[in-house]
């Protein structure tokens, strides 16, 4: 049997472990970068700090009917769709999302008043 003369042969197992750790580290860095840049992080309410609102997230939107993309078109179908659309549109527009002024310096108590 010929002996392997490669300088790495004695440490093959260590090299395997080290390279596995290195590859997994690189993959974790890439996936974390994707997680943050794609906007998934902003939608992830399982992160620490979001416990209080986690239960308030809408997980079942079954009342938002999936309209059929096939079938005939007639006056009745159009009227039915219009009713469905108006109902959902009204619901969606009801909340004044990101409105108000919570980041205003006055709201945060960081604005000087005339008394100060």
Partner 1 sequence: MSKKLLVVCFVLACGLGSIPLAKAFAQDTTLSDQQITLIKDNCVSSRNTLNQLHVSDALLRVNMGQAYESMTTKLMDRFNSRISYNSLSNSDLVAVSKDYVSALDEFRLDYITYEAQLSSALKIDCEKQPADFYDAISVAYKGRNLVHDDVLKLNQYIDKYQLALDKFEKDYQVIGEGAKK
Query: What does the chain come to in residues?
Result: 116
Q: Which CB atom, from 10 or from 87, has the smaller least distance to partner 1?
A: 87
Q: Least CB distance from residue 31 to partner 1, whole Å?
A: 17
Under DSSP, the state recorded for 3 is P
**Which of 2, 13, 71, 76 touches partner 1 (CB under 8 A)?**
71
In whole angstroms, give the CA distance from residue 10 to residue 1: 17
Phi and psi at 23, nearest 5°, equal -65, -45
Residues 67 and 84 sit within 8 Å (Cβ to Cβ): yes
In whole angstroms, give the CA distance from residue 28 to residue 16: 18
Applying the rule CB under 8 A, the residues between 25 and 44 that interact with partner 1 are: 37, 39, 42-43
Residues making contact with partner 1 (CB under 8 A): 37, 39, 42-43, 45, 49-50, 52-53, 56-58, 61, 64-73, 75, 77-79, 81-82, 84-86, 88-89, 91-93, 95, 97-99, 102-105, 107-112, 116
């Amino acid at each position: 049997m010929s002996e392997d003369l490669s300088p790495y042969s004695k440490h093959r197992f260590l090299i395997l472990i080290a390279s596995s750790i290195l590859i997994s580290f690189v993959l974790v860095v890439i996936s974390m970068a994707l997680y943050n840049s794609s906007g998934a992080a902003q939608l992830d309410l399982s992160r620490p700090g979001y416990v209080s609102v986690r239960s308030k997230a809408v997980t079942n939107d079954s009342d938002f009917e999936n309209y059929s993309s096939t079938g005939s078109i007639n006056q009745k179908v159009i009227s039915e769709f219009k009713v469905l659309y108006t109902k959902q549109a009204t619901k969606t527009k009801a909340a004044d999302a990101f409105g108000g002024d919570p980041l205003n310096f006055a709201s945060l108590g960081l604005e000087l008043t005339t008394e100060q």
